[in-house]
Amino acid sequence: MRRRCLGFVFVLAWSGSVWGASVDNFMLLDHRGEAHELHYHTDAAAVVLVVQGNGCPVVRNALPDLKAVRERYADEGVVFLMINSNLQDTRESVRAEAEEWGIDLPILVDETQLVGEGLGLTRTAEALLIDPEGWELTYRGPINDRLSYERQLAEAKEHYLADAIDALLAGTEPHVARQDAVGCLINFPERDNPAHGQISYVETIAPILEQNCVGCHRPEGIGPWAMTSYEMVRGFAPMVREVLRTKRMPPWHADPHVGEWRDDAGISNEERTTLVHWIEAGAPRGEGEDPLPRIAVAPDSEWVLGEPDLVIELPPYEVPASGVVDYQFPTVANPLDRDVWVRAMDVLPGSTEVVHHVLVGLIDGDSNRGGVFDDYLGGYAPGVRPVELPERTGMLLPKDDDFLAQMHYTPYGKAVTDVTRIGFYLHDEQPDTFFRQGVVMNPTIAIPPNAKRHEQRAYQEFPADALLYDVLPHSHYRGHSSTFSLVYPDGREELLLNVPNYDFNWQRGYAFVEPKPVPAGSRLVHTTVYDNSAQNLGNPDPSKLVRWGLQSWDEMLYGAFSFVWVDETTDRPIHDGRLIDAYQTIGYLDRDMDGRAEWDELPAPLKRRMAKDFEHGDADGDRALTAPELHAARQARRRAADGNDVAAAGGD
């Protein structure tokens, strides 16, 4: 570990960062929609942040100098990023600038200007050098002295940034810690605005909290503290500022630049900026009656949708105060003597503190599927609303099927008994069509030890026209980011959902404002990036090779989705579950996305299991299977097995 001797340190609260100041953590999305958190880089020797601005000639002229510095420290563990805080620049225009000028660095887009304000930025082309050991700013200024306004030198005489990096790596003070930046001025109209001290708590702040926070932060809510008064909010104000800057709260993780969603729980840039500016102004109380005591109250009813038609109570489970609890799979017999149609469902955990998530489905009453649903119904996770199906659709609940739940408990320091209840709301009459559930999955995933960004993907092909209603990405502690995209039969690809900062603590689905038409032959592609490094603070063990498994220390590539077949009705079903299973299998075996699972693409264990499928299904001898071929091979094997059973029983 290097040792540093600093002569002095400036201590700052909310003001802009100068040399020696601690740089507050933040998270921003870059021009490609990827998330970057400053304090993630604990293993870096240094972090360099260079201020970018579209159209600035100084920035463009400085790109070769920046490239030279990057190459010099390529093997030294120095992280290089760029940041754009310009009011006039958008993610799309920054992406275009990066493509035109060959910028291959992440350009963090500071849409609210909150990060730029906090860093004290004034001009583009400025470089900031940050020491991850304490997150202190050790240099700020130009990369070198080669550039000035409307003139430039052939060669730089002073290499300020490189000299500062050398000093940081050597554990000494830089010869020059601060140099005036040369670049285009950045307009920060809200920086140090005295009007922030006049922001009304009653008329402005409390309504923002009601809209974005109080639903969870209320008595008997899932938030750790209740926003019951101004005094409570003021006491937690520094924490509120932190989670807003790092985007941990509110817990809505969809990229706002991709898709439109029902029940969008994201906070707007304007609301985020207003809250942070109010807090940085001292969280003034102002005049007027505090509205929070009447807003932040416990709900009138346990059931958001009213009293259910059917309530299933799961067996009590004793959750210990600490440790790891294996997934539990309680089953409950179906009390009904008739088939019914479900139009909505809700899950009420007995103890919200320990219930991480609940999945609910059906199994044949005579089978033991080991935690695998025959049909999935819905689930619960903190912040997720009850499941309400689209009009004229329903899920069939056969009288002979029983209920199976997957329970994930996370102890929180106190032993409790959980009794979770599931409420079902039923149709009075048979609906027009089935509401279907599917999963894009890949049980063959293998995440190498210490891998920071390991990508896995799979797809589900639709053999008939469909309407896609929602998607839900699911992974475990090592999940970093996820996307869903739709690849159409003509090859066009549309990004449907981008979750750049996946959080295992919030298992949330995303429902389209309008269902997405899916032509036959389209593929729903689900991609997840995993972080198996020590910088992932939730990682149980970075040294492990991680494979598929139910427990949180295992991993999953699991993308759930809901849909209806366009030409299906409840009187005329067309759904073939076994054919869909075949498409699902091809979707995770097909590494090159050509629509076939080639023999050479199969992992060794699967070759042994699927040898018979290839033997019977590969009709054209190309050592590959399509989904229809795999389906036909499986059907033939089932018929053969059924025939053997009949023969063994002495039948005809």
Q: What is the pLDDT of residue 18?
A: 54
Write the pLDDT tens digit of every residue in 453-484. Answer: 999 999 999 999 999 999 999 999 999 999 99
> pLDDT tens digit string along 607-623?
999 999 998 899 889 99
- 237-245 and 269-280 helices, crossing angle to 10°: 140
Q: Is the model's pLDDT at 404 over the cut of 90?
A: yes
Pairing relation of β-strands 46-51 and 78-84?
A: parallel
pLDDT at 491: 96
Burial class (CB in 10 A: 0-12, 13-18, 19+), 65: buried
What string of H, E and C letters represents the secondary structure of 227-268? CCCHHHHHHCHHHHHHHHHCCCCCCCCCCCCCCCECCCCCCC
pLDDT at position 393 over 90: yes
Q: What pLDDT band is residue 412 in, cutting at 50, 70 and 90?
A: confident
Torsion angle of C-alpha atoms 244, 246, 252, 253, degrees rounded to 10: 160
Sheet containing 454-461: give its strands across. 454-461, 523-530, 479-487, 493-499
Pick the range with the lowest mean pLDDT from 4-8, 282-286, 554-558, 632-636. Answer: 4-8
Check pLDDT > 90 for residue 113: yes
Q: Domain boundaries in the chain? A: 27-170, 194-295, 310-419, 432-566, 576-652
pLDDT of residue 3: 33
| Distances from the Cα of 425 to the Cα of 107, 309, 352, 383, 392, angstroms | 48, 5, 22, 20, 14
Parallel, antiparallel or unpaired: strands 78-84 and 107-109? parallel
pLDDT at res. 381: 82
Instruction: Report the alpha-carbon distance of residue 146 to residue 36 in Å, rounded.
Output: 30
Which pLDDT band holds residue 2 (cuts at 50, 70, 90)? very low
Asked, colleague to colleague, whether 310-419 and 432-566 share their fold, the answer is yes
Q: Which amino acid is at 128?
A: L
CATH architecture of 310-419: Sandwich (2.60)
Of 466, 452, 648, 640, residue with least CA distance to 565? 466
- 78-87, 198-207, 221-230, 470-479: least confident range: 221-230
Q: What's residue 6's pLDDT?
A: 32
385 pLDDT higher than 90:
no
Tell me 291's DSSP state: S
First to last CA, the chain: 79
Note the pLDDT of residue 221: 80
* Structure confidence by residue, pLDDT tens digits, 261-271: 998 999 999 99
Four-point Cα dihedral 622, 623, 624, 625, nearest 10: 100
> pLDDT averaged over the chain?
92
Task: Answer whether residue 366 shows pLDDT above 90.
Answer: no
Query: Which token pair is 463?
Result: 């053999």
User: Tens digits of per-residue pLDDT, 578-591?
Assistant: 999 999 999 999 99
How do residues 511-564 score in pLDDT, each as one tens digit? 999 999 999 999 999 999 999 999 999 999 999 999 999 888 999 999 999 999
What architecture (CATH level 2) is domain 576-652? Orthogonal Bundle (1.10)
Q: Which of 419, 409, 340 is nearest to 381 (CA)?
A: 409
In this prediction, residue 76 has a pLDDT band, given cuts at 50, 70 and 90, of very high
Q: Which CATH superfamily is domain 27-170 in?
A: Glutaredoxin (3.40.30.10)
Task: Return the structure tokens found at 145.
Answer: 């002295």
pLDDT of 369 > 70? The answer is: no
Percent of the chain with pLDDT over 70: 94
- CATH 3.40.640.10 corresponds to the domain 432-566: no
> How far apart, in whole angstroms, are the C-alpha atoms of residue 29 and residue 40?
14
475: closest CA among 458, 496, 450, 494?
458
